[in-house]
Structure formats: structure tokens, C-alpha cells
A and B are shown apart, each in its own frame.
Chain A
């Protein structure tokens, strides 16, 4: 079972990964976006960590909702409402249980990712964070929530697969063919989040 500690480990691990990789995210974003993805994500996840520190109690679901709200409030770019919606909807789908089974998390993440797709109006192949998130939740679902490592691998592959894609959403879509040949920054940060989930699961063993 996954308890609140697991979710704290995931979110703080994600914050550390975002902080570590912020320069790379911004570099990817400077090629096809407005060069603020790394700093935006760093600011958002720093706020998540602060909020978690100020919230000593909480269930898996409530912690994710709290984190999602911080991202919507503090990021300042489109990734804020998108990642905020991902965490908030996933958290709401988990309800108020003190512990959740991995298969429940797999299903909740599917709900969260669907909400991101609806909010952004994007689909797989549009060169967005969905290209990492959808394969990840699919891999996790196939293993019935057992293999977070498989999800992380699928997310990484999904992020890499955005390189030859032409962007169809957001600022990068204005570049048309010139967006081809660059890895999508949003898919890259999504892969970091899924990798942090996998690391949190390893820590639970």
C-alpha cells in the first residue's frame, strides 16, 4: 500500500529533479518555446515543497490536491494549470483514504492525465507532455500498478519520441516545421515526474 509518506517522497523527489534539470528544461524551451520552463517549474515545485512542509498531516489525495493548487498559483506559465490539474485530479480521484493500492494510483493517474488532455485540448502526437504521460499511465495500468519502473521507462521513451514530432499546441505550434528536431520541454519534465514516482516506489521496498 502507498501511504502519505510515499506521496511526500514522490513530490519532494520531483522537486529535486526539476531543480537539478531546470537549466536543461529551459534550454529545450529556448529552442521552441519562450525559455522559461525550467525556472517556472522550479518556482512551482519549490512552492509545493514549502506547502508540504507546512502541512504535517494529510492523505495521499489531499497532498496531491495541495500540490496541484500550488502549481496553478505559482508557476506563471501554461505548465502551471496543466501540471496543477494533473495532480489535483489525480488527488481527487484517490479520495480521502489514508493508504491507496498501486492499482488505485494507476487508475487515478489515468483520470489526471485525461483531465490534462481535456484542459489543453491536446492529444498524443501533438508534441506535448501527454506524449510522455500517456505511455506512462498505460504501462503502469498494464502492470496493474506494480511497475513504476516500466512507467518511467515509457515516459522517457515518450519524451524522446517527441523529437521528430511537429508541435500542434502552444507557442511551439507557431513554428510549424521548425519545431521538428527538438525534444519537447513539457514531455521532458513529465518524464522527470514519472521517474521521481519510480524512485519513490523503490524507496518503499
Chain B
């Protein structure tokens, strides 16, 4: 079976990134789950964004099928964009996915675990913007 799309979750908070990763894995159900890595907070454990943690996470989940990166806000968005603009900082086939963080993460992990390709994962995550709650 071919490799699944990898998912990277970037949040200002290490706890948020790790918890959303756990939530998404849990909701993905049984069977094979796509690789998910959290890149939360700064390297010294504070609130913020670490380019190094993002690089490590993307490399860890890259199986050759592409990597979908979901971000929370502000510097997380800008850091991933800047790393992608650099060209050689993140694995080939890494993409910033425009999606709500929690709902998008669940949709991305479920889709990637079901064998969806990077386009399908990105579309499923982005679609989560459409679920109204009130």
C-alpha cells in the first residue's frame, strides 16, 4: 500500500498542537492512521512558532505522498509561508492548507488515513470552513 499524506499541525501552543493531533487521530477511527506530527510553541516551550519544529515535524511525517500543514494564526501562518517560499526548507510536496485548525485537522487526518491524496486532503480540510454551527 502506498504512503499516506502526512499531516503537520502548527499552533502557538505545544499543548494545543499535541491535543489537536490526539483528537484527530482518535476521531480517525480504527485501522491505519496517516502520520500526524505536532509542531507547537517555541523550542524553549513558550508560546510562539518555531521554524525548526515545523521542519522536524514535516520531515517526520513525509512518506513521499506530500505533507499538509495546518496552522492556527499569525506567526504560524507567516512562518510556514516563509519556509515554503524558501524552496528547500520543507520536504517536496509540502503544502499550507487553508482551513480551520481543529475541524480542518480532523478532516485532513480522516481523509489522509482513508488514502486520499494531497489534493483530497487539502479540499476536505478547507471544506470544514463550510460547517456552520449556528
Whether B42 pairs with A85 at a CB distance below 8 angstroms is no
CB within 8 Å for A171 and B74 given contacts A76-B42, A80-B79, A119-B81: yes
> Known: A84-B82, A85-B85, A88-B86. Contact between A76 and B74, CB under 8 A?
no
> Please, what's the 1-or-0 string for B78-113, where 1 marks a CB less than 8 Å from any CB in chain A?
110111011000000000000000000000000000
In B45-88, which residues have CB < 8 Å from any A CB?
A: 46-52, 74-75, 78-79, 81-83, 85-86
The residues of B that contact A170 with a CB separation of less than 8 Å are: 74
Q: Chain B contact residues: over half helix, strand or loop, or mixed?
A: helix
Number of chain A residues close to chain B: CB under 8 A: 21
- Which partner residue on chain A sits nearest B83 by CB separation? A72
Nearest Cβ in chain A — how far from B71, in angstroms? 12
A171 surroundings in chain B (CB, below 8 A):
74
A82 at the interface (CB under 8 A from B): yes
Q: How far is the CA of A72 from the CA of B75 in the complex (A)?
A: 10
Q: Which residues of A contact B79 (CB under 8 A)?
A: 72, 80-81
* Listed residue (B49, B50, B74, B79) with the most chain A CB atoms within 10 angstroms of its CB: B79
A36 within 8 A of B: yes
B94 to chain A, nearest CB (A): 15
The CA-CA distance from A116 to B50 in the complex, in Å, is: 19
Contact A78 B82, beta carbon cutoff 8 Å: no
Pair B78/A119 contact, Cβ less than 8 Å: yes
Which residues of the other chain, A, contact B49 by a CB distance below 8 angstroms? 76-77, 80
CA distance A193 to B42 in the complex (A): 25
Contact A82 B78 (CB under 8 A): yes
Chain A residues, Cβ within 8 Å of B83: 72, 81
Contact between B78 and A73, CB atoms less than 8 A apart: no
In the assembled complex, A181 has its CB within 8 A of some CB on chain B: no
Q: Which residues of chain B have C-beta atoms less than 8 A from A34's C-beta?
A: 47
Establish whether residues A119 and B82, one from each chain, have CB atoms under 8 Å apart when the complex forms: yes
Contact of A73 with B86 at beta-carbon distance under 8 Å, contacts A80-B79, A81-B78 already known: no
Contact status B74-A73, CB under 8 Å: no
The reply to whether B75 and A76 form a contact with Cβ atoms under 8 Å apart is yes
- Residues in B neighbouring A79, C-beta threshold 8 A: 75
A-B pairs with lowest CB-CB distance, top 6: A81-B82, A76-B48, A78-B75, A81-B78, A76-B42, A73-B51
12 contacts between A and B (CB under 8 A): A69-B86, A72-B83, A76-B46, A77-B74, A77-B75, A78-B75, A81-B79, A81-B81, A82-B78, A84-B82, A88-B86, A171-B74
Given contacts A76-B46, A78-B74, A81-B81, 5 further A-B contacts (CB under 8 A): A78-B75, A79-B75, A80-B49, A80-B51, A82-B78
Residues on A facing B (Cβ under 8 Å) = 34, 36, 40, 69, 72-74, 76-82, 84-85, 88, 119-120, 170-171
